[in-house]
């Protein structure tokens, strides 16, 4: 069941709503996850579906969190001609929220040669649980 805009406004900050539901982009180098490289997973901030694993995150030096792959069936791709150039938009497959864009063939040394350029505001990071030493 999809939420209404009013329901999303109740659970998201105004900045998150602008990115996730209105397809805005946060300013480069402003997001809390751009420089985060801890172990864990990144989920959609609107619905909680896990989208990316930290093992696929890399430093593209572009100002937004970058991943070279998404979780299977977690995202959907759409043609986006809104900026005067053709790009591929990435949305959450569960709730349809805007996450960012994907770029290919940029020459990054990654297994897929893809860069998912994702807004920090569209994500929620959950660190991996660490095993406690019981000695």
Catalytic residues: 117
Tell me if 33 sits within 8 A of 65, measured CB to CB. yes
What contacts 42, CB < 8 A, 6 or more positions away?
Answer: 33, 50, 51, 52, 53, 54, 57, 65, 67, 118, 123, 124, 125, 126
Q: How far apart are CA 103 and CA 113, in angstroms?
A: 9
Q: How far apart are CA 66 and CA 115, in angstroms?
A: 6
């Amino acid at each position: 069941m999809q939420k209404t805009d009013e329901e999303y406004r109740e659970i998201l900050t105004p900045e998150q709503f602008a990115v996730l539901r209105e397809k805005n982009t946060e300013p480069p180098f402003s997001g809390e996850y751009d420089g985060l490289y801890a172990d864990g997973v990144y989920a959609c901030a609107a619905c909680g579906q896990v989208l990316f694993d930290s093992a696929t995150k890399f430093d593209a030096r572009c100002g937004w969190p970058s991943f070279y792959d998404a979780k299977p069936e977690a995202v959907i791709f759409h043609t986006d001609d809104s900026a005067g150039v053709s790009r591929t938009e990435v949305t959450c497959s569960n709730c349809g929220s805007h996450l960012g864009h994907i770029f290919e063939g940029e020459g990054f040394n990654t297994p897929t040669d893809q860069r998912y350029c994702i807004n920090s505001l569209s994500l929620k990071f959950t660190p991996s649980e660490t095993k406690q030493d019981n000695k």
